[in-house]
Amino acid sequence: MVAAMLMSVVLIAGFCVLAYTLAVYALPFMLGVTAARFAYHTGAGFIGAGLVGFGAAVAAFGVLTLRSPILRLIVALVFATPATIAGYALVHGVTKESVPSEIWRQILCIVGGAFVGTSALRRSTTSARA
């Protein structure tokens, strides 16, 4: 039983690290995919849609290089908010069957979501300075 609990904690931590790593790049990627789908459905063709999607993703990621600290923080918060929600949902999905107490499950979900959101915010602001 102890081994299963330890494996669950390691798995949750691994998923949080994975979500942390992908959080910064998920929003520009999805904006690029959405722009490419829109361009394709309006008749741009496959190559044109790919170019539009790539340009939109690069522009979305380039927004993190703003000079103004206030604008950079606002953009970083926009990037980190979906990461926080995804971190909460990720931990909830992992702990649904392994944590019998609803209160402890919610505590773990909130901590996991806060960790992923804070990490994404920190990583967004760090990549903006580089």
- Contact yes or no for 99/105 (Cβ under 8 A): yes
Which residues of the chain fall below pLDDT 70?
16, 19-20, 23-24, 64, 126-130
Give 30-40 pLDDT, tens digit per residue: 888 899 999 99
Whole-angstrom distance, CA of residue 14 vs CA of residue 43 = 42
Domain ranges of the chain: 2-129
Amino acid at 26: A
As a whole number of angstroms, the distance between CA 112 and CA 13 comes to: 8
Q: Indicate the burial class of 82 (C-beta count within 10 angstroms; 0-12, 13-18, 19 or more).
A: middle
Q: How many degrees, rounded to 5, is the angle at CA 5 between CA 2 and CA 10? A: 125
pTM (predicted TM-score): 0.60
